[in-house]
């Protein structure tokens, strides 16, 4: 069971908005709002005052936009981070989405659309200031701007780039990307600028420009591992107990490795979902369940984990019981730290496995 606290989510948006004012805080709601449910998340954030949203895909945008049609105010913007797939430009336009143009081909197809429409069309332009990710490499963009056609037909309303090391505040790449981005921002004086993701927001005002793009921070994740955070916790997770077994000294667990009981042991099998794949690489790992750090007796696999629950009160171990997995003590940050992946992967895999329930004010 995944409980999502919408009041905490709205508070987090307000906290980030205060932190980055006068810049505006956009919400990144790709991947079904990181597994938490794009429709209720966007309704909640619209209600709190958020007006800029980012999804990855055009189809995601279409589904989302239709599910919140009655609540979508004039002046709200939905950006499509991966831009439009070739041939879908007119759909993007029909929905009023702003595509993020990342490649020369995407720019050219948006220009062709503008010619067909007989007037320039708004778009966001992503510059790759780290030479690694999505976005137009600076050399490509320079050549395009120098060409006779330039960017005619494209009204650049937002210039953006993505930081690659914002979760490491001291990393020199942050300043380098900032300087490069500043120069590109100046080439588009009437566009808004956007550089910071969640971690970038905490690098300071220099990084805020006009719009920040918050994903994980909205959902309660700290800006960097171990760093104090002003964000409220949004998710709680209870894992279902699938099975309980008593094994005697010397017995092992199936084919999953060398574990053998050194005393009479109570084993509990929990339904974890794909997040299990990220947990506890070492056999000596522990998983905090129902407030106790229990030894993992095998590497979690096939969406389950087996823990040694001998120390647990048998009263907690009824088959089907829901046991705290992400709670006040082991919050999403601690839980993500116990895994070998990103908070994004943890949230989306929790969201795909557990039944979601919402608490707090859910606007209609
Ligand atoms: C996903 C994404 C973000 C949000 O990142 P968080 O670390 O979750 O805040 C911002 N910008 C772009 C381009 C993204 O793809």
Which ligand 1 atom lies nearest to the CA of residue 162? 13
For the cut 90, the answer to whether the pLDDT of residue 153 exceeds it is: yes
Top mutation candidate among 31, 36, 54, 197 for ligand 1, by most atoms within 8 Å of CB: 197
- The yes-or-no answer to whether 2-219 and 235-359 have a common fold is no
In whole angstroms, give the CA distance from residue 28 to residue 49. 15
Q: How confident is the model at residue 281 (pLDDT cuts 50, 70, 90)?
A: low
How is the chain split into domains, by residue range? 2-219, 235-359
**Three-state secondary structure string covering the chain:** CEEEEHHHHHHHHHHHHHHHCCCEEEEECHHHHHCCCHHHHHHHHHHHCCCEEEECCHHHHHHHHHHCHHHCCCCCEEEECCCCCCCCHHHHHHHCCEEEECCHHHHHHHHHHHHHHCCCEEEEEEECCCCCCCCECHHHHHHHHHCCCCCCCEEEEEEECCCCCCCCCCCHHHHHHHHHHHHHHHCCCCCEEECCCHHHHCCCHHHCCCEEEECCCCCCCCCCCCCCCCCCCCEEEEEEEEEEEEECCCCECCCCCCCECCCCEEEEEEECHHHHHHECCCCCCEEEECCEEEEECCCCECCEEEEECCCCCHHHCCCCCEEEEECCCCCHHHHHHCECCCHHHHHHHHHHHCCEEEECCCCC
Binding-site residues, ligand 1, Cβ < 6 A:
28, 30, 81, 162, 197-199, 213-217, 344
**CA 144 / ligand 1 centre spacing (Å):** 26
pLDDT in tens, 289-315: 999 999 988 888 889 999 999 999 888
What CATH homologous superfamily does 235-359 map to?
Answer: Lyase, Ornithine Decarboxylase; Chain A, domain 1 (2.40.37.10)
- Kindly report the protein residue whose alpha carbon is nearest to atom 15 of ligand 1: 81
pLDDT in tens, 17-28: 999 999 999 999
Burial 21-39 (b: 16+ CB within 10 A, else e): eebbbbbbbbbbbbbbbbb
**CA 246 / ligand 1 centre spacing (Å):** 46
For the cut 70, the answer to whether the pLDDT of residue 363 exceeds it is: no
Mean pLDDT of all residues in 52-77: 97
CATH topology of domain 2-219: TIM Barrel (3.20.20)
Residue 98 has a pLDDT of: 98
What percent of the chain clears pLDDT 70, i.e. is strictly above it? 97
């Amino acid at each position: 069971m995944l409980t999502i606290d919408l009041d905490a989510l709205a508070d987090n948006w307000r906290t980030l908005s205060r932190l980055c004012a006068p810049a505006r805080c956009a919400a990144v709601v790709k991947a079904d709002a990181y597994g938490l449910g794009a429709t209720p998340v966007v309704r909640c954030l619209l209600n709190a005052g958020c007006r800029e949203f980012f999804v990855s895909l055009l189809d995601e945008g279409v589904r989302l936009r239709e599910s919140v049609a009655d609540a979508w105010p004039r002046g709200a913007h939905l950006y499509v981070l991966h831009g439009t797939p070739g041939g879908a430009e007119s759909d993007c336009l029909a929905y009023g989405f702003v595509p993020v143009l990342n490649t020369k081909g995407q720019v050219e197809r948006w220009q062709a659309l503008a010619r067909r429409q007989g007037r320039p069309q708004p778009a966001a332009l992503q510059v790759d200031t780290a030479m690694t990710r999505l976005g137009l490499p600076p050399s490509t963009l320079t050549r395009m701007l120098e060409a006779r056609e330039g960017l005619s037909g494209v009204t650049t309303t937002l210039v953006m780039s993505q930081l690659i090391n914002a979760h490491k505040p001291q990393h020199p790449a942050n300043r380098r990307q900032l300087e490069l981005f500043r120069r590109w921002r100046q080439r588009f004086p009437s566009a808004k600028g956007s550089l910071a993701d969640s971690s970038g927001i905490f690098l300071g005002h220099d990084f805020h420009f006009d719009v920040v793009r918050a994903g994980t921070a909205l959902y309660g994740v700290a800006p960097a591992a171990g760093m104090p955070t002003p964000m409220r916790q949004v998710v709680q997770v209870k894992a279902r107990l699938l099975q309980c077994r008593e094994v005697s000294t010397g017995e092992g667990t199936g084919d999953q490795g060398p574990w053998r009981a050194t005393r009479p042991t109570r084993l509990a099998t929990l339904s974890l979902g794909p997040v299990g794949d990220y947990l506890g690489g070492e056999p000596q790992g522990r998983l905090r369940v129902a407030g106790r750090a229990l030894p993992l007796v095998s590497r979690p696999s096939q969406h389950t984990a087996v823990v040694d629950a001998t120390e647990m009160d048998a009263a907690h171990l009824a088959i089907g019981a829901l046991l705290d997995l992400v709670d006040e003590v082991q919050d999403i940050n601690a839980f993500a730290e116990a895994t070998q992946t990103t908070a994004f992967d943890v949230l989306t895999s929790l969201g795909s496995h557990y039944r979601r329930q919402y608490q707090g004010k859910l606007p209609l």
